[in-house]
Amino acid sequence: MNIVFMGTPDFAVASLDRLINDGHNISAVFTKVDMPRGRKMVMTPPEVKVFAESKGLTVYQPATLRDEAVVEQIKALNPDVIVVVAYGKLLPKEVLEIPHLGCINLHGSLLPKYRGAAPIQWTVLNGDKVGGATTMYMNEGLDTGDMILKYETEVGENETSGELFDRLAVSGAALLSETLDLLASGKAERIPQDETEATYASMLDKSMCVIDWSKPAQEVHNLVRGLNPWPMALTTLDGKRVKIITTRKSSISGKPGQVVSVNPLTVACGEGAVEILTLQPEGKKPMDSKAFLMGHRLDSTNYFGK
């Protein structure tokens, strides 16, 4: 099939790679504009752009798809289907109507749950035991179109958002490949979403990062997992910020925030406690808790979050 691909982050790279390997003709790749990143705010291209150019594909980075010239540009490509994976922009009606087989989206959740920008992170933040991906026909709404196929997977007790991202990127690419085969043969179903079960996965922001040690250990653990690799859970110790990178639950108890063990480093929550496996003190590189304790003598008089 002749495909116009739209995607931006590394999550979408696996899908683009799979479509190329499946033998589809990728007539063009649309991605978001280069953005400043890091402390030095260096202009950085999206991962999809880097990958697409390495494969010799034509890349476009329009600021908006609502520009008449951009719409005409897509029409001239004459795509059978437009495939969208984490593009970060809604497609206007004029674009949705271009391909005769429709616009197909791969979304990182089991729709209609977690429509929106951060479905994988919220799967982990909410402690869901099962996550997955869905392919769907796109319409003008936000992830509201008819579904085609779903892929389900168990979420590990200690699995981070980043780890689930990596797994779903590969599994989602396979799901997308299967979906396009069905689409080409005219066998792709249309399964309406149940609006009564719809939930929204809002974008993450740094206001979510601060750990409330009065929460149960499970909630604290989910926060740490869900905010890894970005923006990372945050607390303080002796007035200095500390990023908490990975944890696991512990049955030890104490006062919220209290260091209840240093072998291993364990901090009490409102219910239970969490063992801190890796962390990043302010101004330092990430390290395991053993390395951290070599430079910090802690005991039960020490509290995180104070």
Per-residue model confidence as pLDDT tens digits over 145-201: 999 999 999 999 999 999 999 999 999 999 999 999 999 999 999 999 999 999 999
Helices (H), 22-67: 47-54
Q: Kind and range of the H or E element at 115?
A: strand 115-116
Please give the torsion angle defined by the CA atoms of residues 39, 16, 158 and 37, in that order, rounded to the nearest 10 degrees: 0
> Does position 303 have pLDDT exceeding 80, yes or no?
yes
Count the Cβ atoms, other than its own, within 10 Å of residue 269: 28
| Domain range list for the chain | 2-201, 206-294
> Does position 252 have pLDDT exceeding 90, yes or no?
yes
Token code pair at residue 13: 């790279």
Q: Over the stretch 96-154, which tens digit does the pLDDT of each residue have?
A: 999 999 999 999 999 999 999 999 999 999 999 999 999 999 999 999 999 999 999 99
Could you tell me how many helices (H) and strands (E) the chain has, helices first?
8, 17
Q: What is the CATH number of domain 206-294?
A: 3.10.25.10
Angle at 119 between CA 230 and CA 276, to 5 degrees: 40
Contact predicate 44/34, CB 8 Å: yes
Q: Kind and range of the H or E element at 240?
A: strand 240-250
pTM of the model: 0.95
Helices (H), 193-286: 217-226
Tell me which fold the domain 2-201 belongs to.
Rossmann fold (3.40.50)
